[in-house]
Amino acid sequence: MRILGLSAFYHDSAATLIEDGRILAAAQEERFSRQRHDAAFPSAAIRYCLEDAGITARDVDAVVFYDKPFVKFERLIETYLAFAPRGFRSFRTAMPVWLREKLFQKDQIGRALNAIDPGFGGTGRLLFSRHHLSHAASAFYPSPFDEAVVLTMDGVGEWATTSVAIGRGRDLQVLREIHFPHSLGLLYSAVTQYAGFRVNSGEYKLMGLAPYGQPRHVDQIIGTLIDLKPDGSFRLNMDYFDHATGLAMTNRRFHALFGRPVRAPEAPLRQFHADLAASVQVVLERAVVALTRALAAETGIANLCLAGGVALNCVANARLRAESGFAHVWVQPAAGDAGGALGAALAVWHLQEDGARVMPPATSAPTSTPGDNSPRDAMRGAFLGPAFDQARIEADLNRLGARFTVLADDDLITATVASLTRGDAVGWFQGRMEFGPRALGNRSILADPRDPAMQRRLNLQIKNRESFRPFAPAILAEAAPDWFTPGDASPYMLFTATLAPHRRAATPDAISAADATNDPDAVITPRPGPPSPIPAVIHLDHSARLQTVHADIHGRFHSLLSAFAAETGCPVLVNTSFNVRGEPVVCTPEDAFHCFMGTGIDTLAIGTACCVNPIRIRPWPSPGGSPRIDARAGARHQKSK
């Protein structure tokens, strides 16, 4: 039985295709439309899924949407009535859209499906799942566990903002929920917007900013903004928020509590913003740790699965793995709304059709265990998007006027290692595109983590983003326990780990008394991480968002890391997504080439083709200096077959 799962109309639209419970394909619409966090109907993603499976619409047995629009409309109406007369402006703005479009989403989806392929037959095979059930299914069914507690935390679904389910075999039952407007996700998003970042995308920035601050505002948040109980249940004080009926997340009382207005998006980040980021991060961690400890004690179940946007907070996930009381924690790598498309399809297969679960055999990866995000899951490394064969890659490069060298596989690895060790930033485009927000070694920009200037260069010269943003280390799975604590398997880059003590220099921790400031108006000056062998990927608190790289999952990427380790003694590379600020991760060879030529990326390894940028700007200059253009690179920019 083939089931197509869809998410759309809010953010991160996506499509997935499963067959008898096995995940065949999955992709976000943004990768095809090139519109970041695209909320449009995922027409291109649907076409990809059908083409990848070699089928037409008539071969699809069911189409399922990831939430229920009528229930969401019910929540909207009841919320406005509960808060009336507050929020009339928001009500007046929202109602015409709902009455014109969203109330008729079933027909809208049917028309959009028929526009792709009349074989879909309109709404005849269209089903609807509940939002949090879709999230929970996306986490439990692909997980390595036969039994687990499933915790979903996000902004809001139809009504639920936090839900607890129990999964056993094919069965998945939601036990309890916390309802809108009380939401940990919306609390975090409120601070995100107040700090001048965009909701639904800037939360990563807030998490990355937190280590630059001190949690000075925890008591203000817990004492005034949220009532947090010992079991992790909570209520927001809605006197300080505007998300229930307004057009913003916070209101004047919120701003008065902290004594300043909302930061303009491009205004300087000050110590106050870093301190607030650190504070809300601590509050989030306290809440989820308290919640999961209570669930572990109540259920006696050893395994925990996570989904929903809050599950992408890798710092909180690391605390859960250490302190939740569960023996094993597994996080859906596409934990946000994109993953809801997958969960909706899986929910229909297992709960409606009583279909069997598909569990892959145990992996031989040296650090794999039955849990802790082991590669032994059904997500296939999250490599579920489009792939392009070598003939297509070369045809696209020729059409674009690229000059390139085609190498044997071993020679490609050798040439890429040489680029990395001479300080190059390398665009690495291989195999199937990742599903979810993380680049995991197939659509990545790679660099040498030993270079102390690399973090600043990648942020400012290549990614064109805020200079404080950290980068992730990709490490050979077999080497992780020697370099990081814990060194558990983490193939999806969803947990932080700490640099092992014996890998640190004999200096005080990065956040020392000298670093802390009592001046909330001081402008944040990004500082390098603490002294270490890999300064480009170690944050101020010795932490890193770790990705373990496994031979049987990551293939050529593992081979590259192995060769880099043999050459340098360092089994780690900087791994960041192959894109620039404001754009989605690259999908096609054409996307990759345009990104390569439009940035300071030095080398592009795409399939087994290798391009060298004719104008390379490196190294990153010292303050007051200017970039050095290495025009000699053009001499190597030749094509051979």
pLDDT band at 550 (very low <50, low <70, confident <90, very high): very high
pLDDT band at 91 (very low <50, low <70, confident <90, very high): low
Please tell me the distance from the alpha carbon of residue 320 to that of residue 329, in angstroms, as a whole number. Answer: 8
Instruction: Give yes or no for residue 561 having a pLDDT over 90.
Output: yes
Please tell me the distance from the alpha carbon of residue 476 to that of residue 522, in angstroms, as a whole number. Answer: 40
The answer to whether the beta carbons of residues 136 and 66 sit under 8 Å apart is no
CATH topology agreement for domains 1-138+336-359 and 143-331: yes
Q: Does domain 391-482+550-636 have CATH number 1.10.3720.10?
A: no
Tell me the mean pLDDT in the region 175-197: 94
For the segment 132-175, what is each residue's pLDDT rounded down to a tens digit?
A: 999 999 999 999 999 999 999 998 888 889 999 999 999 999 99
Please tell me the distance from the alpha carbon of residue 480 to that of residue 272, in angstroms, as a whole number. Answer: 35
Instruction: Give yes or no for residue 578 having a pLDDT over 50.
Output: yes
The answer to whether the beta carbons of residues 241 and 251 sit under 8 Å apart is yes
Please tell me the distance from the alpha carbon of residue 95 to that of residue 108, in angstroms, as a whole number. Answer: 17
Instruction: Give yes or no for residue 461 having a pLDDT over 70.
Output: yes
Instruction: Give yes or no for residue 367 having a pLDDT over 90.
Output: no
The tokens for 592 are 């990759």
Q: What is the pLDDT of residue 107?
A: 87
The tokens for 107 are 């027909």
Q: What is the pLDDT of residue 634?
A: 33
217 to each of 159, 212, 280, 472, 634, how far by Cα in Å? Answer: 29, 14, 8, 28, 53
Instruction: Give yes or no for residue 266 having a pLDDT over 70.
Output: yes
Please tell me the distance from the alpha carbon of residue 247 to that of residue 233, in angstroms, as a whole number. Answer: 27
Instruction: Give yes or no for residue 249 having a pLDDT over 90.
Output: no
Say which CATH superfamily domain 143-331 falls into. ATPase, nucleotide binding domain (3.30.420.40)
pLDDT band at 368 (very low <50, low <70, confident <90, very high): very low
Mean pLDDT check: name the lowest of 220-234, 240-254, 273-287: 240-254
Please tell me the distance from the alpha carbon of residue 488 to that of residue 371, in angstroms, as a whole number. Answer: 9
Instruction: Give yes or no for residue 629 having a pLDDT over 60.
Output: no
Tell me the mean pLDDT in the region 602-618: 84
Tell me the mean pLDDT in the region 98-117: 80
Fold of 1-138+336-359: Nucleotidyltransferase; domain 5 (3.30.420)
Q: What is the pLDDT of residue 276?
A: 97
Q: What is the pLDDT of residue 508?
A: 45
Q: What is the pLDDT of residue 624?
A: 38
Instruction: Give yes or no for residue 52 having a pLDDT over 70.
Output: yes
Tell me the mean pLDDT in the region 347-355: 97
Tell me the mean pLDDT in the region 617-627: 41
Q: What is the pLDDT of residue 615?
A: 64
Average pLDDT, the chain: 88
Which has the higher per-residue pLDDT, 151 or 523? 151
Mean pLDDT check: name the lowest of 175-189, 329-343, 496-510, 584-598: 496-510
User: In the chain, what percentage of residues exceed pLDDT 90?
Assistant: 74
Instruction: Give yes or no for residue 247 having a pLDDT over 80.
Output: no
The tokens for 95 are 């109602």
b/e per residue 194-228 (b: at least 16 CB within 10 A) = bbbbebbebbbbbbbbbbbbbbbbbeebbeebbeb
Half-sphere exposure of 370 (CA within 13 A, CB side): 8
pLDDT band at 359 (very low <50, low <70, confident <90, very high): confident
pLDDT band at 520 (very low <50, low <70, confident <90, very high): confident
* Annotated domain spans of the chain: 1-138+336-359, 143-331, 391-482+550-636
